[in-house]
Amino acid sequence: MDPFLLEAIVNGILLGGVFALPVLGLNLVFGVVDVVWLCYAELVMVGMYCVWFLHTQAGWPLILAFAACLPVVAMLGLLLHLLVVKPLLGSPPITQVLATGGVLFILQGGAMLTFGTDFRSLGVEMPPMEVGEIFVSGTKLVAFVAALVSAAGLWAFLKFTYVGTAIRAIARDREVMPLMGVDPQRIYLVASAVGGGLAGLAACLLVVQLDVHPFIGLSFGPITFMICVMGGLGNMLGGFLAAFLMGVIISTGGFWWNTEMSYVVAFVFFIVVMFARPRGLFAR
């Protein structure tokens, strides 16, 4: 095989791993709470600023900055639920979407006021590794492995714990849950905190690859939502697989044409999928 194509495919898979975390987080929250967090990419942006600030400004070791980023963004997810989503739980979906969309602009504006519009770089770069005939970015590889480990951890949480099993149950039938002693409001809180935590994790993996600025969410937010819809909104496994598919399409699209066209290819593919399988690629 053409080593450049192989490199594009490998890079696509690595890219998919990074998409996978926010996709899982969004799907988790949507599946449980039935609300789309339109500001999800902006939660990731806040996490990226958090790491950048603690590491470069406050002088914390990077690993400590990462460790602090998770609870900070998880707490942000909790606050988002308590202050914005919970009061609107019975409202029409459009109201909820507009409200979380409003939070998107508040977070963007807040970041701009606090940090300005400069691109902030962590200044961390690992040397590329040579694997066989191709070069792989060390940073991307580490981020990819961390994303996979996190996804496996999330899977184990949902599969083996009581709360995780209740989370999977509530996605199908909320009304019946109290009969088993499950307080749905508590499960919403857990899902929102875990959803926020996944945004924090994604922030750690992205901030080592991309410079952070107030509008960074726009560069991966839309694609994240697209992947969620393509995998079937609320379907964790579908979203996870679609993340890799989309990563490879974008990456190889850049190989066949050019980087600018790669997102066009991805969106065309998305539209075709939506016509062929409106409920998502992996809908049962």
Partner 1 sequence: MEGATLSLEGIRAGYGDFQALFDVGLKVSPGEAVGVVGPNGAGKTTLLRVISGMLRPKAGTARFGSTDIATTPAHMLPAMGIAHVPENRRLFPHLTVEENLKVGAYIPAARRRYAERLAYVFDMFPRLRERRHQLAGTMSGGEQQMCAIGRALMSSPRILLLDEPSAGLAPLVVAQVFALVQRIRAEGLTVLIVEQNVAQVLRVVDRAYVLDAGHVVAEGSSAALASDPKIRSAFLGGH
Applying CB under 8 A, the residues found at the interface with partner 1 are 162, 165-166, 168-169, 172-173, 175-184
Q: Find out whether 72 and 49 touch, Cβ atoms under 8 Å.
A: no
Q: Shortest gap between Cβ of 192 and partner 1 (angstroms)?
A: 18
Q: Shortest gap between Cβ of 165 and partner 1 (angstroms)?
A: 5
Q: Shortest gap between Cβ of 23 and partner 1 (angstroms)?
A: 19
Give, rounded to a whole angstrom, the gap between the first and last alpha carbons of the chain.
35
By C-beta, is 172 or 277 nearer to partner 1?
A: 172
Q: Shortest gap between Cβ of 166 and partner 1 (angstroms)?
A: 6
By C-beta, is 130 or 175 nearer to partner 1?
A: 175
Q: Shortest gap between Cβ of 190 and partner 1 (angstroms)?
A: 13
Token couple for 121: 């770089």
Q: Shortest gap between Cβ of 284 and partner 1 (angstroms)?
A: 9
By C-beta, is 71 or 178 nearer to partner 1?
A: 178
By C-beta, is 169 or 274 nearer to partner 1?
A: 169
Half-sphere exposure of 217 (CA within 13 A, CB side): 27
By C-beta, is 130 or 173 nearer to partner 1?
A: 173
**Alpha-carbon distance values, 251 to 12, 85, 172, 256 (Å):** 5, 36, 35, 9
Q: Shortest gap between Cβ of 162 and partner 1 (angstroms)?
A: 6
By C-beta, is 110 or 184 nearer to partner 1?
A: 184
By C-beta, is 101 or 164 nearer to partner 1?
A: 164
